[in-house]
Each structure stands twice: as C-alpha cells, then as structure tokens.
C-alpha cells in the first residue's frame, strides 16, 4: 500500500466520521450493540484464525480474550454517556459536552490481534470516532477479517460506510505515515517499545502502553494453594502473551518449600542449572526476547532449547539470584517462563519487586497475594505501578476480567512508563470535553446575569437511563429496569427483590438516602459514576 492509498483511506474514514459525529446517543448505542452481536458468534473462529496465522498462544484462551472484548467491554461501555452533556454543575455554572476526537489510528499487535481489534473498534465507535487499524504484518489476515465483519455490522445498524478501515499489507513506513497524517487525530498504540515511541514522536496525541515486567509476591499470610494456582493461571494463559502476565514470582521465605511443592503439583516445572543456561541462550538475543519463543508452549520452548518436559507442564520456572543484564531472563518474556525468587519478609520482597519493575515494567502492574491489609497498604503506597492486583492472577485482574477495573486491552503505565495516562483506556479517553462556563464573579461588584440551569445533573442521568431502558423495551424485555435478566434468574435473598439490569447514579444516591442495598447480577449495566459511588459505600449485593 502506498502513502497515497493511506491518504485515500483516511479521507474516506474522516468523511464517515463527520457523519457519525452527528449521531444521537441512541444511534451510537444501536451501532455498538450491532458490533457486540456480530462479534459474539465469531469469537472462536477468529481465535483459530489468529492462532493459525501467528502460531502464538492457545485457541481456547484466544477465544476467551475475544469474548472479553465482545462481551465484557461491551457491557461496561454500553451505558456510558458519550453524546451531548456529560456533566452538569448548575450551582457553579459549569457544563461539559462530549466531542469526538476524530479519526483513531489503532495499531494492533500480533500477540492479541483479534481481541484488540474488537476492543479498539468498539471504543472508537462508542465515542463517535472513525478508526483505521494498522495490523502487525504477522496477523494482518485475521485482523482484516475482524475489521470487515464489524464494519459491515456497523453499517447495517446505520453507521456511515467507511467508518472502520484496515491497512491490508502494512509496513513500518505505512504505519508511520498513518500516525503522522494530518487527518489522524489520536493514536491507540499497542505493541513494542519502539512502536510506542514512534507513536509519541508522531506529533499526535497518543495512548501508548509500556512493557509489563510484572512481579507477583506471595506473602507469608497468603493462601498458598490459591496464590500458586492464580500465578500459574495468569502465566500460562495464552502462553504468556498478555502484557499483564506474571513474569516473576517472589515467595516469602517461610512459604518457599510449600509454594515450590504447590507449583510442581499444578503444572510448574523447575529448570535445572543446565536447563537455565539453555533457556537463556535461546530466549534472549542481544538484550531482546527472541521472537521465536513468544507465545509458545513450555514443551515447544524446552524442545527448542534442547531438553524435554512432562506433558502436563504449564509453566517453566527458573531460579534466579538477581535482576538485570547479568540475569537476562529477569526481563519481560511473553511466554510461559517464570522467574523464581525467595525473599525473607515483605520489605525484602518489596525491594526485589522494585528491581524487577525498574528492569522494564515501570508503571504497569504488580500482583500481591496476602491476607495482611497492612502489607497491601504498604505496597499500594510504595510500588511504582498503577495496578496492584490483590489475590488474583495479574493477567486477568489488570484488564478487568477478575477485578472491577475498567475492562480494557490497552493499559496505560503513566509517566513512570513514559505514557500519557495510567488508566485502563475506555471510550471516555477518546473524547474531548467542551466546557460551558457561566460568569460567577463579575468584574464590577454586581450580580451575574440571572440564568436558569442549562441542564441539570439529574436530567443528564435520567436521559442516559431512558436511552438504555427504551432499547431494552424495544427488544421486548418487559418492565424496564426492574425486570430479571434471562441470564440471571432470581434467587432467594434479602427481601426477595429481583436483581436490577441497570443502575444509574441517581438510583445509588436514592438507595443511600433510604438505607437500602441494590441487588445486581453479573450482567447488570452500571454507569461509571454509579459503580464508583456504590462500591465506595459497599452498596451492591450480587445475585
């Protein structure tokens, strides 16, 4: 593809985006629902395509990642208000209005190709942006398949044709041309450090993500069996291709023998000193991970290194004495190879974790397995990361699969990781906020011009709820808001109330005033402000 073809693609997407920018919230959500419904039945097929094209990971885990993007991300962003007034403070005379950024240049990696494509298309269109995907060359066929299906689904739901596009045979030069192009407004870059630096050097606003050299500490009060199972589940998931997967496990000295036995009983295989040397020689080339081992099984990696492991092996563990260039396996490995450290006490473990993060994971994620809340507090205050995942696999917890973090496949690492944000990226990051500000303190000492409220906060919330509930009613789901979800039948409980399908901030505040709790289920759509307030006051009961 020549640069002139990049010009034509961007011109087409920009024209479509101008039309999408005029959509109402109801129209936007109809498009989003169409993306969701088109993606769900194809998650397994796209996983197989990605595995066959790249050779990375496991089909069943790639299917899970696709479902996460098509279902969990959808459920979280569906009730978001992305059109019109977002916030209103009539007393202060301040109002915020959503404005789409324009055209998103979405760089897609080979490690998580189809799931990242689904996710980036969804968050872009939810915020009324057009999107151009730039696939990693090793995964261009499966990524193009996702883009084509979701483009057609969006168009059938009323979106302008051309709102989603994909570079068919991308090169480094074409990706750079896409990122630098005058019609590109913002970049969502997922990939290696060089790519992220190129995104930030393009002169465009960019959300890039840093590497995830994630340490996981099993502290002496932890449930050892659960902690070990969690670490193995995270590290072996899709054979280590998720940036939030555990790269090192640090075990508190009193638990070392028990934890080692638990790892061995759950598919962990400790490498001998000779095998460690073989792995180092294979996996690290000139200070970088050998691409040949990325996303491969423990058996494939061992065979390439020159030894064999039992069939049931899920993770290869390597005992380590230090961190840094003299200990090359202490870097991010993107494979089911896990470094093993033993430290006596949380202070020593804390220092080791920081060493590991400074060797390539600043700002990303840390795993902590403990029942000591003081240790959690200390780690939260001292660790140079923006996600401390407690008693859960970091692979699943950081992206919001096993935690209540915003479901996302782009994880910011903040200034520590040379990123512009430390957030899990959502559609709200792809919006600019226009602010309307009424005079509050006139320069002469007189009263401001009397004005009625432009819009109230309650009106905005009621409008968001109405949009959602009208959609529910139009699909014949019965009494809005209170009806039981087909996927969550009622269960006996306090008061016998059925779980809610939708919760707004207004409902949370009403429940707080009345001293009531709100029953929700796994599919309940909770607006972000309602979720934050409800969790702060422990208001939700899960059915």
DSSP letters, 185-216, are: -EEEE-S-HHHHHHHHTTTS-EEE-----EEE
Q: Map out the domains of the chain as residue ranges.
A: 3-209, 214-393, 457-542
Tokens representing residue 417 in the block: 């990781």
pLDDT higher than threshold 50 for residue 30:
yes
Nearest to 266 by CA among 310, 325, 205, 222: 310
pLDDT band of 505, cuts 50, 70, 90: confident
Nearest to 46 by CA among 162, 139, 169: 139
pLDDT band of 462, cuts 50, 70, 90: low
Predicted local distance difference test score (pLDDT) of residue 190: 84
pLDDT in tens, 229-252: 999 999 999 999 999 999 999 999
Q: Which segments of 115-194 are extended strands (E)?
A: 130-135, 164-166, 186-189
Cα distances (angstroms) measured from residue 17 to each of 58, 96, 206, 391: 36, 21, 19, 43
pLDDT > 90 in the chain, percent = 73
pTM: 0.84
Q: Using CA atoms, how far apart are residues 335 and 57, in angstroms rounded to an integer?
A: 9
pLDDT higher than threshold 80 for residue 121:
yes
pLDDT in tens, 5-24: 899 999 999 999 999 999 99
Pair 308, 318: CB distance under 8 Å: no
Predicted local distance difference test score (pLDDT) of residue 291: 93
CB contact set of 14 (below 8 Å; sequence gap of 6+)? 102, 103, 130, 183
Q: Quick one: 3-209 is in which CATH superfamily?
A: Aldehyde Dehydrogenase; Chain A, domain 1 (3.40.605.10)
Pair 115, 395: CB distance under 8 Å: no
pLDDT higher than threshold 50 for residue 492:
no
Q: Of residues 491 and 313, which shows the higher confidence score? A: 313
pLDDT higher than threshold 50 for residue 28:
yes
Pair 362, 214: CB distance under 8 Å: no
Q: How far apart are the first and last CA of the chain?
A: 52
Predicted local distance difference test score (pLDDT) of residue 296: 97
pLDDT in tens, 341-357: 999 999 999 999 999 99
Phi, psi of 536 (to 5 degrees): -60, -40
CB contact set of 146 (below 8 Å; sequence gap of 6+)? 39, 46, 114, 117, 118, 121
Predicted local distance difference test score (pLDDT) of residue 240: 96
pLDDT higher than threshold 50 for residue 373:
yes
Assess whether the region 3-209 and the region 214-393 belong to the same CATH fold. Answer: no
Q: Give the CATH number of domain 214-393; options: 3.90.180.10, 3.40.309.10, 1.20.1050.10, 3.30.700.30.
A: 3.40.309.10
CB contact set of 23 (below 8 Å; sequence gap of 6+)? 31, 83, 128, 158
Tokens representing residue 342 in the block: 């033993």
Predicted local distance difference test score (pLDDT) of residue 528: 65
Pair 98, 81: CB distance under 8 Å: yes
Averaged pLDDT, 92-103: 96
pLDDT in tens, 403-428: 999 999 999 999 998 889 999 999 99
Predicted local distance difference test score (pLDDT) of residue 3: 57
pLDDT higher than threshold 60 for residue 481:
no
Phi, psi of 210 (to 5 degrees): -90, 175
Q: Using CA atoms, how far apart are residues 233 and 224, in angstroms rounded to an integer?
A: 14
Predicted local distance difference test score (pLDDT) of residue 530: 79
pLDDT in tens, 35-61: 999 999 999 999 999 999 999 999 999
Averaged pLDDT score across all residues of the chain:
90
Active site residue 350: no
Q: Of residues 107 and 534, which shows the higher confidence score? A: 107
Pair 119, 69: CB distance under 8 Å: yes
Predicted local distance difference test score (pLDDT) of residue 51: 97
Pair 389, 398: CB distance under 8 Å: yes
pLDDT higher than threshold 70 for residue 1:
no
Nearest to 406 by CA among 298, 293, 527, 320: 527
pLDDT in tens, 355-364: 999 999 999 9
Predicted local distance difference test score (pLDDT) of residue 459: 61
Q: Which of 243, 262, 353, 413 is catalytic?
A: 243
pLDDT higher than threshold 60 for residue 469:
no
Cα distances (angstroms) measured from residue 473 to each of 293, 469, 478: 51, 6, 6
């Amino acid at each position: 593809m020549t640069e002139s073809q990049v010009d034509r693609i961007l011109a087409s997407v920009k024209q479509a985006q101008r039309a999408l920018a005029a959509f109402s919230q109801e129209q936007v959500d109809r498009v989003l629902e169409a993306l969701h419904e088109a993606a769900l039945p194809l998650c397994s097929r796209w996983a197989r395509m990605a595995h066959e094209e790249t050779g990375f990971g496991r089909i069943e885990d790639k299917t899970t990642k696709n479902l996460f993007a098509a279902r969990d991300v959808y459920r979280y962003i569906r009730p978001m208000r992305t059109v019109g007034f977002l916030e209103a403070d009539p007393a202060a005379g301040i109002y915020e209005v959503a404005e789409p950024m324009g055209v998103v240049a979405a760089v897609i990696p080979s490690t998580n190709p189809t799931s990242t494509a689904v996710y980036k298309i969804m968050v872009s269109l939810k915020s009324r942006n057009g999107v151009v995907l730039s696939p990693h060359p090793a995964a261009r066929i499966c990524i193009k398949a996702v883009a084509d299906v979701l483009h057609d689904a969006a168009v059938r739901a009323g979106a302008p044709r051309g709102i989603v596009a994909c570079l068919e045979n991308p090169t480094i030069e074409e990706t750079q041309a896409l990122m630098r192009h005058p019609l590109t407004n913002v970049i969502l870059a997922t990939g290696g450090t060089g790519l992220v630096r190129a995104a930030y050097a393009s002169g465009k606003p960019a959300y890039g993500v840093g590497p995830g050299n994630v340490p996981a500490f099993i502290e002496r009060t932890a449930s050892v069996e659960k902690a070990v199972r969690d670490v193995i589940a995270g590290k072996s998931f899709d054979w280590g291709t998720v940036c939030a997967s555990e790269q090192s496990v640090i075990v508190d000295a009193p638990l070392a023998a028990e934890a080692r036995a638990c790892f061995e009983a759950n598919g962990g295989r400790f490498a001998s000193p000779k095998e460690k040397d073989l792995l180092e020689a294979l996996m690290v080339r000139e200070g970088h991970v050998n691409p040949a081992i990325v996303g491969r099984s423990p058996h494939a990696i061992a065979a390439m290194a020159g030894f064999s492991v039992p069939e049931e092996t899920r993770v290869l563990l390597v005992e380590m004495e230090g961190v840094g260039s003299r200990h090359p396996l202490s870097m991010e490995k993107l494979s089911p190879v896990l470094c093993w450290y033993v430290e006596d006490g949380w202070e020593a473990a804390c220092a080791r974790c920081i060493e590991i993060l400074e060797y390539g994971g600043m700002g990303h994620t840390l795993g902590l397995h403990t029942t000591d809340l003081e240790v959690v507090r200390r780690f939260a205050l001292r660790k140079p990361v923006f996600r401390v995942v407690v008693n859960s696999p970091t692979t699943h917890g950081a992206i919001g699969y096993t935690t209540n973090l915003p479901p996302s496949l782009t994880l910011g690492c903040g200034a520590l990781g040379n990123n512009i944000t430390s957030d899990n990226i959502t559609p709200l990051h792809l919006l600019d906020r226009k602010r309307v500000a009424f005079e509050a303190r006139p320069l002469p000492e007189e009263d401001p011009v009397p004005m009625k409220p432009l819009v109230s906060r309650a009106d905005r919330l009621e409008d968001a709820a109405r949009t959602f509930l009208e959609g529910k009613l139009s699909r014949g789901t019965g009494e809005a808001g209170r009806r039981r979800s087909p996927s969550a039948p009622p269960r006996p409980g306090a008061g016998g109330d059925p779980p809610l399908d939708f919760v707004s901030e207004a409902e949370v505040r009403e429940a707080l005033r009345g001293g009531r709790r709100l029953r929700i289920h796994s599919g309940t759509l909770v607006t972000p402000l309602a979720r934050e307030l409800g969790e702060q006051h422990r208001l939700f009961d899960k059915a």
